[in-house]
Each structure stands twice: as C-alpha cells, then as structure tokens.
Amino acid sequence: MTLLSVSDLSKTFQTASGPVHAVRDVSFAVDRGECLAVVGESGSGKTTLANMILGILRPSAGTIAFDGAALPARRGPIQRRAIQFVQQNPLSSLNPKRSIGASIRLGLDTYGIGARAARWARVEDTLEEVGLPREMRRRSPAALSGGQRQRVGIARALACEPELVVLDEPTSALDVLVQARVLRLLNDLRARKNLTYVFITHDLAVVRNVADRVAVFRSGELVEIGDTPKIFSAPEHPYTRSLIGAVPVVDDAELQLRNRLAEGT
C-alpha cells in the first residue's frame, strides 16, 4: 500500500548566478509502515526534497501524492497534520521561551486533537511514550541534555498523530550511546504505531540498520534506489559504492565488506 508517491519532482532556485537545480525529475514511492532512507552528501538535494514533502517549499514541477490523492500547493490542516517533521538540531528547533509541554501542545491546539481539558494529560502521555518523565513538560529546552531534547522533538511530532514522519538527520548531533538509544526508540515507535518514515541522513551505518529501502541522491538526482541489504551488498551505481567505501568502520567484517566493494569499482 503506497502512502507517499513522488513523481517527476523538480525544484529550481533562481540565483544571481543563474538557476540552480536542487532537485531534478525525482520519482519514488514509500509504502505505509516503511522506512525509506534518503542519503547523499551536502548539496545533494536531500533537504530540499524534505521541505517539498512537508509542504514548506513548492515544487517547480511534478507532483506529490499522499494516501492516493495529489497534495495541493496550499495544504489544509488535515494534510499538514498527517506529515510531521523531526529536525536535526533540537536546541534550535524548540522555542527556548516555551516550556517543553507548551511546545508539544501547540500541535494539539493547532489541529484540534482531543478535548481541550484532556490535552495536558495527552502531552504527558506522549512524553512517556518517548521515554521521558511526565514532569518534564514544565521544564525549558535549555535544561535538557541533547538526547532528551531529541526525544522532545520526536514527541512533538508524535503528538500530532502523523502517518508520515520526515526525519532530517535526527541523531547526527548525538553521542554514540545516546544515538543508539534514540534509534531504538524510533524503531519501536514505528512498529507500535505503524508509522512511515522518510529518514534523511548522511550516516550510512545508521541507514543499514534502520531503513527498509535506501534512495541515494547526488546533485539533485536520484542515482540509485533499492532494498537496504542489496544496496549494501551489491550496489550498482559507482557513486553508491564510493559512498559506502568512505564510511569509517569499526570491526573487521565491515572492513572486508568495504574492501570487497572497493575492488568492484
């Protein structure tokens, strides 16, 4: 069952030095419950793509269909609620003057989710779901650690009861131990709530372990897309091979895989 389908999507920015094609003729589909990783280096168009899926940017050409219907240029509240966003840097994405609870509640008020009187309880339930104590709703973002803030970012998205969550480098600002816990949380939540993820990252080792499929972008173009195990064992595009070949690895099995891929080029 396809949830999100992107066809012939392009975005061109007009700059002083001529047009820049940030995304060019990109087509792919994401099934309900699936996690699609979007990988690529800086300038590959990952973030522009995310912004178009979220409705923050209007595509120059092409269409984005959600749950069988094409999304209009100006989206209504139902459509906006269904697609939520988790940002890379939770410190800069949470309003420092608002309490954690107020930030999470904002989505509930905007979209009219649940009875007004029950919303604070709902906020606390969501905090609990992401592994934070209920009392945390009164705290301010500055008082939290990086891992806690990222959990709040996830809670903020979840509170809106989305179907699709776009995650932009959700763990790259975190320490390894914290990163591993947040990745686990994201995996559990997806299974429990049948969520669909578009997971944007440049960290291929993370991708290997969380994504069902991988889409590789280079300068705005989709160069390869396929099932995760296949992309990592037998990548077809030379660019994919070179990306995997550049990952710093920790154990010998990984080193062998990397060397084997390098010989294939």
List, in sequence order, every residue forming a beta bridge with 215; answer none if it has no partner.
Answer: 38, 225
Among the listed residues 56, 6, 60, 2, the one whose alpha carbon sits nearest the alpha carbon of residue 28: 6
Query: Least CB distance from residue 44 to other proteins, whole Å?
Result: 9
* Candidate residues 20, 91, 223, 257; the one interacting with other proteins per rule CB under 8 A: 257
Please, what is the minimum distance in Å from the beta carbon of residue 205 to other proteins?
4
Q: Pick out residues in 141-200 that bind other proteins (CB under 8 A).
A: 146, 175-177, 179-181, 183-184, 187
Minimum distance of other proteins from residue 108's CB (angstroms): 30
CB of 140 to other proteins, least distance (A): 19
Phi and psi dihedrals of 32, rounded to 5? -60, 135
- Cβ proximity to other proteins: between 41 and 236 the closer is 41
Amino acid at 21: H
Q: Which two tokens stand for residue 29?
A: 């589909």
Q: Which stretch binds other proteins (CB under 8 A): 2-10, 14-22, 107-115, 204-212?
A: 204-212
Q: Dihedral angle at the C-alpha atoms of 108, 110, 116, 120, nearest 10 degrees? A: 40
Q: Which of 70, 209, 259, 262 binds other proteins (CB under 8 A)?
A: 209
Tell me the CB-side half-sphere exposure of residue 221, using CA atoms within 13 A: 6
- Distance from C-alpha of 151 to C-alpha of 136, rounded to nearest angstrom: 11
- Residue 35, SS3 per DSSP: strand
Query: Which CB, 93 or 179, lies closer to other proteins?
Result: 179
Nearest alpha-carbon partner for 59 in 4, 5, 2, 8: 8
Measured in degrees and rounded to the nearest 5, phi and psi for residue 63 equal: -130, 155
Q: Which two tokens stand for residue 72?
A: 């209009």
Q: How near is the Cβ of 116 to other proteins at its closest, in Å?
A: 38
Q: Read off the amino acid at residue 115.
A: A
Nearer to other proteins among residue 77 and residue 133 (C-beta): 133
Whether 197 and 173 have beta carbons less than 8 Å apart is answered as no
* Nearer to other proteins (CB atom), residue 55 or residue 146: 146
The yes or no reply on residue 98 touching other proteins (CB under 8 A) is no
Total residues at the site for other proteins (CB under 8 A)? 36
Residues forming the site for other proteins (CB under 8 A): 41-42, 146, 175-177, 179-181, 183-184, 187, 202-206, 208-210, 228-229, 232, 242-244, 246-251, 253-254, 257-258
